[in-house]
Structures are given as C-alpha cells and as structure tokens.
C-alpha cells in the first residue's frame, strides 16, 4: 500500500502490524499533517465479529480525551477498506526501552503514574483496555506516555438494565477465545470470564513488576504454560528481585497482582494516588526532606478587587522565607501559582503538586487596615492543621508574613537555624506605600512586553522615591533597564541606568541575593563577564533557590560560547522553576548548535508544552506565544506555529521584541517577505537589533534578499 492513497490519505510507510490490522504513516492531504492510519485487512473485515471489535476500538478510544491516550481522528470506510485515523506517536514502545536499558525509580514513576492516570480517565468513561502490556505503551521523544491499542477494550455500562444491550456488548467475546496477552493477563481473562476495570489493574501490576524488576511476573515456554502460571503462581515480591524497590511499592504491586479481584485496588484512582505518595516520599528521602509544602496565591477579598499584586506578594514572601528552612521542600512560585483562581479540591491540588500540606489564605485591604486569614491544610484528608486571622495595620505586613511562616515551622515541628529563629521574613522597607509600589512593579515586570516593563519601571521609581534606601526597588529598576537594553532599545543610557541602579542596590543591601543577580545581569550586558560571574555566584550562595541568578548566568555563558556550562546552569534554573518555558527552548538552541538533534527535539517539545501551559494561565503572555511558536515550527507543526506567532503579534504589534521574534518565526516558515516586513517595523518603532540581525541563524533564509541587505546596511555597523 506504500505510496497509494485511501480517500485523502497518502500512505508513506508501514509502522507496525498485528492481529487487528496494520498501522501506516500517512499524510492527510487536506489538513496537511502526518497521521497514523490503522487498516483492517480485507479478509479479516469479512468476519462480522472482528469488524465489530475493530469499530469498538475506535469508539473506546474516541470516548476518552486524555494526554496519555492516543487521539483518534476518525473512523472511515472506503469500499471494502475499513480504517481508523489517529494521532501519530513518534517514539519507542516501553518493551523496546526495557530491552535496551536498566530502569531506575525516577523513570519507573514517570511511566507508572501517567499510565494509571490514563486508565483512570478511560475507566471514568466506561472503557476497559483488557490488553495492557509494554508493547502497547509508547514513550514519545519528549518523554510523554501514550497508551495505544484499545482493540480489546469493552464498553462497560454499569447502570444498564437492558439485557439486549448487555448481550450485544458481550458478543465481542467469542466463546473459548482468549483475548489478551498471556504475560499480563488477569486470571479472570485466562478463564474467559468477565473482565472489568480490576483486570486492567492486574495488568498494570504486571507491567510495573516487569518495569521495576526487569522480569515478567509470569513465565513459560508456551502461551498455555504462561496462562497456567497466571492462574497458579505468586510472583516473587519486587523487593526481593530488586532491593532498590521501596517496600511500599513492592506491597502495592503485590496487591495489584492478587488472584482475587476483590483483593486488588478497586479503583485505579486509589492506585494512582498511592503511587504519587510513594514517589514523593522517595524524592523526599533522597533529598533528606521530611516535609513538602506549597503556598497558593492568597485570594483578594478587598472591596475593589484591585489587590492581586499584594496577595501574590504575600504568598511569595512566605515561599522565600520557607525555602530557607532545612528539610522542607517548598514548591516554586510558578508551579503553585498555576492554581490561582482555579478552585477545586485542595487535596487533589496538593497531590498534583506532590506535597503534604498546602497554605492558602485571603487578604482584605481597605485603606491602612489589613485583614489576612491563613490556613494550613493537610493534603491527606483536607483538614485544617492550623488557621489564624490577622487584623493589623498595613505597616505590620512583614510582621504578619513572618508570623505565618513561623507558625508553619512550629506546626510541622521543623528545626531552623538559630540565626533565623527571630525572623524568617526579611524586612526590606518600613514604608508600606513603597512596598505596595514595589509589589505592583514586580507583578508588571513578570508579564513581559514593552508596555508592562515601562509600567513596572514607573512603579519601581515610585517605590524608590518614597523610600530611597529600598534596595529591592533599585534592583527592580536595574532589571527594567537591562530588559529595555536587551529587547527594546540598546542605548548607552539604558545600560548606564542598569549599572547605576544595580550598584546602588548592592550598596544599600550587600546581603540581598536579588541585588547581586541584577548586578550580574548589568555587568553581563556590559560584557564584563568575570565580574558578572562573581555576582551570579554570590547571588546563588545567598539564595540557592533564586531562579534569576541561574537563568541570567546561563545566558551570559551562552554569549561566551561556554555551551556545556550554560546547559548546566539552565538545568539548575529549571529545578528552581520547573514550569518556566524559556529554559528548555533556549537549551534547544544550544543543542542545535552542538548538533545534538535528539536532545534538541526533546527540549523543544518540553518548551512547547510549558508555553502552552503558560498561555492557559496568562493568555496575554506574548513571549510564551512567540517562543512556543518557534518550538512548534522546529518540530514540524508549522500551522500551529504560524497561529501562535500571529497571536503574539496581535497582542502588541508595536513591541520590537515581539516583532523581531515573530520575524524569526516567519523566517523559519519560509515566509520571507513577511519576515522582512516585521524586521522593518522593528526599526520604525525605534529598535535596531544590529548584532542580532547580522548574526542570528534564524534569519539565514533572509540573507540573500535585497530588502534584508538594505535594512541591515541602514543600521550601520554593529557595536
């Protein structure tokens, strides 16, 4: 069938084949995308029972929408050819991966938890898989788990009282025909008995046993011998085969493999939750951590609903204070703040974040009066471990933040450094008005874009004018000038102000990590690299959790061509802020320069996924749009990449940073004239990226065009 067409699908190559049909790589000529096309052989399609099962597969997959389950596009019939079109999954099967490498605990949980999550979604739609095995589990190049082949799935209608409907469903099980793969089948499937969700749980247990021990739980020379082993044998506990297996995990797998379905987990969601708890405990043990906490953004209960910056500021200060407590793991701001305004079950939020406890609260601010309510919640049962209301004056805000942090330490019975017993939260200014302007500035600065940075700059100016000794405000000012120099206007004035304000911040507070990071960035832009490195190292020593220190240090190393070290510092920035989309996308550029294609693709996929998440949280994040677009284009998703690039441009068509980066996107798409249009507009709005236009490899497709040559010539020689 290679090179033939079925309807609008052109067959490119064969991917795999099995009893339920052959799978081909095909091109959808109408939508211009690659797909997987599963064709049922004509001789098999003549069997009504097999054809019914084939169509059943399509209904089973289509009923579930989950990121870890293959997406089905359509079920079609052309002449005597029956086929399904599906999402194309590029990667390797779990069976192939296990054959090539030893599996560590980290990889185990990266597979097992998404697998149970996929089944949880399927079971919620009344779908059982009934043929779960490593060969039906794909791992994409980006590391995402995808469950394939619901060919033996059966729609379950627990509320149905229609015997005719039930009988029609059961006709898919042919008398005396064993459906499934012997090594991972449940005893009830071996007996050709009814198979429900608990059969999938047995199969998950068998897969997990194989994954953690490297050995199948049931063995034999023939299918008959294997099925006899399933009915008769009790596999050796995983911990006896692999001493590195945590005892709780070994017990969990044993429970999944119970012969009696009634003794297994009765719901896969319970299994998933326990797996997550074991994973988190393993991580904490490895880090010497005895507790994990997430601080959610406080809710704004003020009359005008205009205190979001203040609410997030309170939560951030508490995060920073708790991050310095030994044996306490604190989830990063970006990770926990994604649950802003989403509501939902706090226990489920806590489990998703992998923590024992959650701190949430509310703020009501009216004039100089302040009411803060804070409560610490036990994720295991949703109960309050501690709660308190603070009715104070605005000037007492640092004291309140410190009391909350101190209370958490006491409730969790943690020990802290004697030097920090009196104060966990640092008092940065004694003027509440200056602090309020500073928080507003920080909120705008994180939104990116020319207009937001200019607003942030005004806020930091106001803060520093009210309190000239407010070091954090001067550090914020330095960062805004550095940003303007990097992305908007590379004028000597911007660089001079970045240098002046970062130096002033350090003069006011030599122990402020943010000031050292700001100083490092200003020095980096001035190309004083050794001094910049010293500033970044000092910032990291003062605050090992400071994202900006690692991030800007990595960028400085890239400029110097120290790629391997830059990758290392980007990795550390990722640990400090795991949901930041910029890091993997910038790493992908380094991997491209080093010719490491596989790592480049994986980084681009992760960056794209994180950019998508960032857009859901902040639809006006233009940087996420154009950086995500770049990754999509490099991954071959040209149509989506173009949509995202245009979305970025629509958010602010006069922002030179957006214009320049969208030009890079369009260049990668081969839309040469449109790319040059964008570059010309960057010059018209006052930006002149001389160095970038002459050296950026993203613009290589434009270099022989006369319009581009003329534009570059008009900028003069680079500085």
Chain segment 240-253, per-residue pLDDT in tens: 899 889 888 999 99
CATH, domain range 288-420 = 3.40.50.10610
Mean pLDDT of 175-204: 79
615 with 649: CB under 8 angstroms? no
DSSP SS3 for 163: helix
Domain 92-284 part of CATH 3.40.50.300: no
pLDDT at 344: 63
Per-residue pLDDT band at 617 (split at 50, 70, 90):
confident
Q: Which of 187, 188, 169, 182 is nearest to 126 (CA)?
A: 169
Report the Cα 560 to chain-centroid distance in Å.
29
pLDDT at 175: 32
52-66, 476-490, 540-554: which has the minimum mean pLDDT? 52-66
pLDDT at 165: 38
DSSP SS3 for 484: helix
pLDDT at 160: 43
pLDDT of residue 626 exceeding 90: yes
Highest mean pLDDT of the ranges 307-316, 514-523, 696-705: 514-523
Active site residues: 131
Q: Which residue has the higher pLDDT, 691 or 487?
A: 487
> How many other C-beta atoms lie within 10 A of the C-beta of residue 492?
9
Q: Which of 510, 507, 536 is nearest to 521 (CA)?
A: 536
Residue environment code for 358-385, b if the CB has 16+ CB neighbours within 10 A, otherwise e: bbbbbbbbeeeebebbbbbbbbeeeeeb
In percent, the amount of the chain with pLDDT more than 70 equals 92
Mean pLDDT of 546-571: 93
pLDDT at 159: 44
Helix (H) or strand (E) holding 346: helix 346-353
Domain 5-86 part of CATH 1.20.1250.20: no
* Structure-token pair, residue 189: 């499937």
Per-residue pLDDT band at 333 (split at 50, 70, 90):
confident
Mean pLDDT of 584-603: 92
Give tens-digit pLDDT for 472-506.
999 999 999 999 998 888 789 999 999 999 999 99
pLDDT at 462: 96
Residue with tokens 């169509």: 55
pLDDT of residue 631 exceeding 80: yes
* Structure-token pair, residue 695: 């050296």
Per-residue pLDDT band at 418 (split at 50, 70, 90):
low
Residue with tokens 């953004």: 297
pLDDT of residue 157 exceeding 50: no
pLDDT at 509: 94
394 with 370: CB under 8 angstroms? yes
Per-residue pLDDT band at 677 (split at 50, 70, 90):
very high
Domain boundaries defined on the chain: 5-86, 92-284, 288-420, 431-578
Cβ contacts of 86 within 8 Å, gap of 6 or more = 35, 36, 37, 38, 61, 70, 71, 72, 73
Mean pLDDT of 59-65: 77
Q: Which residue has the higher pLDDT, 690 or 440?
A: 440
What is the residue-averaged pLDDT of the chain? 86
Cβ contacts of 616 within 8 Å, gap of 6 or more = none
pLDDT at 32: 83
pLDDT at 519: 97
Q: Which residue has the higher pLDDT, 34 or 418?
A: 34
* Structure-token pair, residue 162: 């229609």
Q: CA-to-CA distance for 62 and 64, rounded, in angstroms?
A: 5
Domain 431-578 is in which class? mainly alpha
pLDDT of residue 235 exceeding 80: yes
* Structure-token pair, residue 693: 């236009």
Report the Cα 467 to chain-centroid distance in Å.
39
Q: Which residue has the higher pLDDT, 18 or 214?
A: 214
pLDDT at 288: 67
């Amino acid at each position: 069938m290679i090179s033939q067409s079925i309807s609008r699908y052109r067959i490119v190559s064969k991917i795999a084949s099995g009893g339920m049909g052959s799978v081909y790589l095909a091109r959808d000529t109408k939508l211009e995308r690659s797909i997987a096309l599963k064709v049922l052989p004509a001789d098999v399609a003549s069997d009504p029972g097999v054809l019914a099962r084939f169509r059943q597969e399509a209904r089973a997959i289509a009923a579930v929408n989950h990121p870890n389950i293959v997406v089905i596009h359509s079920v079609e019939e052309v002449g005597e050819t029956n086929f399904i079109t599906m999402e194309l999954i590029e990667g390797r099967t779990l069976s192939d991966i296990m054959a090539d490498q030893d599996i560590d605990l980290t990889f185990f949980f990266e597979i097992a938890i998404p697998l149970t999550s996929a089944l949880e979604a399927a079971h919620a739609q009344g779908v059982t898989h009934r043929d779960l095995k490593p060969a039906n589990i794909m791992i994409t190049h980006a590391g995402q788990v995808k469950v394939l082949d619901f060919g033996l799935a059966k729609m379950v209608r627990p509320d149905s009282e229609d015997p005719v409907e039930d009988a029609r469903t059961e006709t898919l099980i042919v008398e005396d025909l064993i459906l499934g793969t012997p090594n991972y089948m449940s005893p009830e499937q071996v007996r050709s008995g009814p198979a429900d969700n608990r059969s999938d749980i047995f199969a998950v247990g068998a897969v997990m046993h194989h994954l953690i021990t490297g050995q199948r739980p049931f063995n034999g020379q023939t299918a008959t011998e294997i099925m006899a082993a399933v009915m008769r044998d009790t596999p050796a506990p995983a911990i006896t085969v692999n001493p590195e297996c945590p005892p709780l995990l070994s017990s969990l797998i044993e429970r999944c493999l119970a012969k009696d379905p009634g003794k297994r987990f009765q719901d896969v969601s319970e299994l998933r939750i326990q797996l997550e708890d074991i994973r988190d405990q393993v991580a904490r043990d490895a880090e010497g951590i005895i507790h994990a906490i997430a601080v959610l953004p406080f809710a704004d209960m003020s009359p005008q609903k205009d205190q979001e910056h203040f609410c997030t500021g309170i939560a951030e200060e508490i995060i920073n204070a708790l991050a310095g407590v030994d044996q306490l793991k604190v989830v990063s701001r970006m990770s926990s703040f994604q649950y802003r305004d989403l509501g939902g079950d706090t226990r489920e939020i806590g489990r998703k974040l992998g923590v024992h406890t959650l701190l949430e609260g509310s703020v009501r601010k009216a004039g100089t009066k302040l009411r803060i309510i804070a409560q610490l919640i036990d994720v295991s049962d949703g109960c309050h471990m501690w709660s308190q209301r603070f009715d104070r004056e605005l000037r007492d805000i640092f004291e309140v933040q410190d009391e909350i942090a101190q209370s958490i330490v006491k409730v969790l019975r943690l020990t802290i450094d004697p030097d920090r017993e009196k104060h966990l939260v640092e008092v940065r200014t004694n003027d509440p008005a200056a602090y309020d302007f500073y928080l507003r500035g920080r909120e705008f600065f994180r939104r990116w874009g020319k207009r937001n940075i200019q607003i942030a700059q005004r806020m930091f100016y106001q803060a520093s004018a009210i309190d000239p000794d407010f070091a954090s405000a001067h550090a914020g000012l330095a960062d805004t000038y550095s940003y303007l120099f990097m992305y908007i206007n590379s004028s000597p004035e911007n660089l001079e102000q970045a240098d002046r304000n970062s130096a002033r911040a350090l003069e006011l507070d030599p122990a402020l990590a943010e000031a050292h990071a700001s100083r490092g960035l200003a020095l980096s832009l001035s190309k004083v690299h050794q001094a910049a490195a010293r500033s970044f190292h000092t910032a990291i020593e003062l605050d090992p959790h400071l994202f900006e220190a690692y991030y800007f240090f990595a960028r400085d190393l890239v400029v110097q061509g120290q790629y391997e070290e830059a990758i290392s510092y980007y990795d550390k920035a990722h640990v400090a802020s795991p949901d930041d989309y910029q890091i993997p996308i910038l790493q992908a550029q380094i991997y491209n320069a080093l010719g490491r294609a596989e790592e480049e693709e994986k980084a681009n996929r992760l960056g794209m996924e994180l950019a998508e998440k960032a857009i859901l949280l902040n639809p006006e994040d233009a940087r996420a749009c154009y950086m995500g677009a770049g990754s999509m284009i490099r991954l071959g998703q040209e149509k989506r990449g173009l949509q995202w690039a245009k979305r970025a441009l629509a958010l602010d068509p006069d922002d030179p940073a957006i214009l320049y980066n969208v030009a890079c996107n369009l260049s990668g798409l081969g839309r040469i004239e449109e790319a040059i249009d964008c570059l010309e507009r960057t010059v018209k709005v006052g930006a002149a990226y001389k160095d970038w236009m002459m050296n950026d490899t993203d613009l290589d497709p434009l270099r022989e065009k006369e319009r581009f040559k003329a534009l570059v010539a008009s900028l003069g020689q680079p500085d």
